[in-house]
């Protein structure tokens, strides 16, 4: 007799296969280790702009591109390598390559932590794509973006600007075709909500973090994988920690060196368990499963919404000294995207009962919250303001895209392509803000004299509260002619 669990797993695998072109792709189920890919349409809405509409303004918040490992992860790679090198063993089948495997880092003093060439290309490609997609910026125009201050985030912003501006550097017109990156301190506790990494300044955020549930789930599936793979080894035994490192290496090694052999070691269901553990990590750590997630995302959502409601090139001059371009690009880290989802109330609803909160003991195939679809390298959440000349009633709408997949706003998707009327979206965000609460209050900062709940970086350039500064790219080649 076939069990209900077997049927659900089979249906999940079939759904995943259909979404990715009938072939299971581990790199689209590797959570934060996934190189960028367009997410599948979970809600059955195409990503193309509706025929009767034009995007006239857009706000993106983007994770940095693919990178080399963090030092801690790199040490795990080295430990795995040393385990292989210090043993006398034979390997066969999918593990036949491991005796000759080497760590894919060839400059230890430089590469860990930093953007890889794949990450640079991801950022450059996004710049090219958005320049062509929206047509907001004429050749020769200057362009401003925003970025948290860690090197890999800054590098992502820089490569994006090069792609967006066609990498031009007019030697004879040194004030034209320049990008300006507004950068601010990264993951500090003294700029509060006026930051692209605000959770570092919210003391209560850490108290709501239950991401350890991901480790509990990993303990359920990793032993069986180790037991299966150890059948291919004689003289060496893999343990649960080794399994985690090897699965991480699928995404990282592929994007660093092009070697995808670790991707081929694991079975499809093992990849789905690996992905689900990442889903639990982000859901309970930075996403809706953390009760203090949304308050860290709402400052960005409110600031972006204010700009979209005001409209392109017409930000209220009274609110600051700067008017952003119609394309408002912000670059940050993976853990800063799920709070935006929480603030918007996305991916935590379902037509099926008992999906959320996510189970930490069994994979939930009906969930919409999937880390691979938002915190992949260069993953993004975008808010597009549509102008739809032939649409009935309201003519302005907001459409949400997550890794290019349209995600309807709960209870507000009556517009073209699942969009929400602009006035309704503004009201929706105001309601969300009222429900979520004030950043200073919810984070326990009422007695901190300089604490702020507002994000003003887009209309105050530079911003005193955010301690932002401005970097120009490309630099002028003074005296080069």
The structural domains of the chain, with segments of one domain joined by +, span 4-473
**Nearest alpha-carbon partner for 383 in 330, 460, 304, 451:** 304
pLDDT at 400: 98
Whether the ω angle into residue 285 lies within 30 degrees of 0, i.e. cis, is no
Q: How far apart are the first and last CA of the chain?
A: 80
CA angle centred on 480, ends 477 and 481, rounded to 5°: 125
Q: Which residues pair with 180 in a beta bridge?
A: 144, 472
CA dist., res. 78 & res. 437, Å (int): 45
Handedness of CA 51, 328, 306, 46 (dihedral sign): positive
On whether the CB atoms of residues 421 and 396 are closer than 8 A, the answer is yes
pLDDT at 350: 74
pLDDT at 476: 62
Share of the chain above pLDDT 90, in %: 84
CA dist., res. 24 & res. 458, Å (int): 41
On whether the CB atoms of residues 450 and 420 are closer than 8 A, the answer is no
pLDDT at 14: 40
Which of the residues in the chain have pLDDT under 50? 1-20, 317, 479-481
pLDDT at 168: 62
Residue 59 structure tokens:
């706000």
pLDDT at 171: 74
- Quote the DSSP letter at residue 34: P
pLDDT at 477: 59
Predicted model pTM: 0.93
On whether the CB atoms of residues 144 and 179 are closer than 8 A, the answer is yes
3-state class (DSSP) for residue 344 = helix
Q: Which helix (H) or strand (E) holds 175?
A: none
CATH number 3.40.50.1240 is the correct assignment for the domain at 4-473: yes
């Amino acid at each position: 007799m076939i069990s209900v669990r077997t049927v659900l797993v089979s249906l999940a695998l079939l759904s995943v296969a259909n979404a990715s072109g009938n072939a299971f792709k581990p790199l689209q189920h590797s959570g934060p280790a996934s190189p960028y890919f367009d997410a599948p349409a979970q809600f059955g809405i195409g990503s193309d702009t509706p025929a009767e509409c034009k995007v006239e303004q857009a706000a993106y918040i983007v994770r940095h591109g693919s990178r080399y490992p963090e030092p801690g992860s790199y040490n795990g790679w080295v430990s795995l390598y040393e385990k292989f090198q210090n043993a006398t063993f034979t390997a066969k089948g999918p593990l036949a390559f491991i005796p000759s495997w080497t760590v894919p880092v060839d400059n230890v003093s430089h590469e860990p932590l930093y953007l890889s060439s794949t990450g640079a290309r991801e950022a450059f490609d996004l710049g090219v794509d958005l320049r062509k997609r929206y047509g907001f910026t004429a050749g020769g125009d200057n362009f401003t973006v925003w970025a948290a201050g860690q090197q890999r985030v800054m590098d992502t912003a820089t490569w994006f600007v090069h792609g967006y501006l066609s990498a031009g550097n007019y030697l004879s017109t040194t004030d034209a075709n320049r990008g300006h990156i507004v950068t601010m301190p990264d993951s500090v506790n003294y700029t509060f909500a006026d930051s692209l990494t605000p959770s570092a300044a919210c003391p209560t955020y850490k108290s709501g973090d239950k991401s350890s549930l991901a480790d509990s789930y990993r303990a359920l599936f990793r032993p069986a994988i180790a037991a299966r793979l150890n059948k291919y080894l004689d003289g060496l035994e893999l343990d649960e920690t080794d399994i985690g490192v090897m699965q991480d290496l699928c995404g990282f090694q592929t994007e660093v060196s092009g070697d995808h052999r670790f991707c081929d070691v694991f079975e499809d269901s093992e990849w789905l368990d690996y992905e689900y553990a990442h889903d639990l990590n982000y859901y309970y750590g930075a996403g809706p499963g953390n009760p203090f997630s949304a308050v860290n995302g709402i400052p960005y959502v409110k600031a972006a919404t204010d700009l979209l409601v005001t409209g392109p090139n017409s930000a209220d001059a009274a609110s600051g000294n700067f008017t952003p371009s119609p394309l408002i690009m912000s670059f940050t880290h993976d853990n800063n995207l799920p709070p935006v989802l929480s603030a918007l109330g996305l991916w935590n609803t379902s037509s099926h009962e008992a999906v959320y909160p996510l189970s930490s003991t069994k994979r939930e195939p009906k969930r919409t919250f999937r880390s691979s679809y938002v915190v992949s390298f260069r993953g993004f959440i975008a808010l597009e303001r549509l102008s739809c000349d032939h649409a009935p009633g309201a003519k302005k709408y907001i459409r949400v895209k997550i890794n290019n997949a349209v995600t309807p706003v709960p209870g507000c998707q009556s517009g073209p392509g699942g969009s929400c009327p602009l006035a309704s979206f503004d009201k929706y965000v105001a309601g969300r803000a009222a429900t979520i609460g004030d950043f200073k209050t919810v984070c326990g900062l009422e007695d901190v004299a300089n604490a702020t709940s507002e994000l003003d970086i887009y209309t105050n350039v530079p911003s005193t509260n955010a301690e932002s500064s401005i970097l120009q790219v490309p630099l002028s080649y003074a005296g080069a002619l």
